[in-house]
Homo-oligomer: A and B are copies of this chain.
Amino acid sequence: MIIVMKVGSPEAEINRICEECQEKDLTPEKIVGRHKVVIGLVGDTASMDPLQLQEISPWIESVMRVEQPFKRASRAFRHGQPSEVVVNTPNGAVTFGENHPVVVVAGPCSVENEDMIVKTAKAVQASGAKFLRGGAYKPRTSPYSFQGHGESALGLLAAAREASGLGIITEVMDTADVEKVAEVADVLQVGARNMQNFPLLKKVGSQDKPVLLKRGMSGTIEEWLMAAEYILAAGNPNVILCERGIRTFDRRYTRNTLDLSVVPVLRSLTHLPIMIDPSHGTGKSEYVPAMAKGALAVGTDSLMIEVHPNPSKAWSDGAQSLNPAEFDELMGDLSLIGQPLGRWETTPVAVG
């Protein structure tokens, strides 16, 4: 932590600040510049709040953090090694990680009925997906929109799991539902709107299933990693980070702005595996294939793609869903890019 003093700060005040820092078990080191004095603080400062330190004196101009505030999520925590999130599915163990083939998650926005979810699961499995996504509990902007079938949809997801062999990823929104959802899901999803729902993060952190943590619409990378830190600190080491588009000034042609640069940035900051969701990221199915290909080339470890057997009849998010044929074609295109990059499963899968 670095304290920058205002021009003309009295020496007595600077000394007083140094003393106050010593009381907090920090060792202050003064640098007297041409115009300003700065004080470097040596010690355990990672969990200190710079804004708080600033309150020590009105002569403090600013306090700058040198240490990153996240620890368990940091790349350094694993000495530079990427972590692997291994998930057991009926079809076998699937690994999310930097040194593994890209894992594709596909399925509808919401679980509508048994027929559609089983049909979708089989179709996306045939095209090479390893996980089925599908919402039982749906966060909807309007209280008058379809809110998901809730608990009864969990049973339908279990049926689709059995029919297809795919792992299940589904969202949990309320601490009260975590146990129930964890009984069926292979991976629990925390949605963008709940990235900083701290009670929920603590709760999913204290159970065993891996957690998919979506980035909030205006979540900074640092806040996102701190949200992951909540889960890690609660004891769950299996966190996957999913970018799904951020909110910017231009929302006319895309619903969000998919920030693919998080891939190299996260790679340098954290050991956690990365997923990209181009469906929410753009909000329009016609833009999904291009952005999925871009995500693969940028280096993502996983992709989440919305697929619906009949997008125009979907109960939610139809506009951003591919149909199974479009998804199959996309998987073929992805393999063209993924193979030379060494990130595509080479075992033959049934691609149309």
Contact = CB atoms under 8 A, between A and B. Distances in A.
Interface of A: 2, 4, 7, 29, 31-36, 38, 40, 42-44, 46-47, 49, 51-52, 54-57, 64, 66-67, 69, 76, 139-145, 147, 173-176, 193-194, 196-200, 202, 217-218, 220-223, 226, 229-230, 233-234, 246-255, 257-261, 263-265, 268-269, 281-283, 286-287, 290-291, 293-299, 311-314, 316-320, 336-337, 340-341
Contacts of A252: 220-222
Contacts of A314: 52, 55
B283 A51 contact: yes
Nearest to A254: B261
Contacts of A281: 261
Nearest to A61: B66
A33 B68 CA distance: 13
Contacts of A33: 40, 42-43, 66-67
12 contacts: A31-B40, A47-B144, A54-B319, A55-B314, A69-B142, A141-B226, A193-B198, A197-B197, A248-B259, A254-B261, A263-B294, A264-B287
B254 A265 contact: yes
Contacts of A223: 141
Nearest to A205: B143
Residue from the set A175, A220, A253, A291 with the largest chain B CB neighbour count within 10 Å: A253
Contact of A143 (B29, B226, B313): B226
Contact of A294 (B38, B193, B295): B295
Contacts of A174: 175, 199-200
Contacts of A218: 217-218, 247, 249
B261 A257 contact: yes
A202 to B, nearest CB: 8
B249 A140 contact: no
A229 B340 CA distance: 40
Nearest to A318: B55
Contacts of A44: 34
Given A264-B290, A290-B297, 17 more contacts: A33-B43, A46-B144, A49-B316, A55-B319, A174-B175, A174-B200, A176-B199, A193-B196, A193-B197, A220-B252, A222-B252, A260-B291, A261-B282, A294-B297, A294-B298, A296-B297, A297-B297
Contacts of A141: 69, 196, 223, 226
A304 B29 CA distance: 39
A246 B249 CA distance: 9
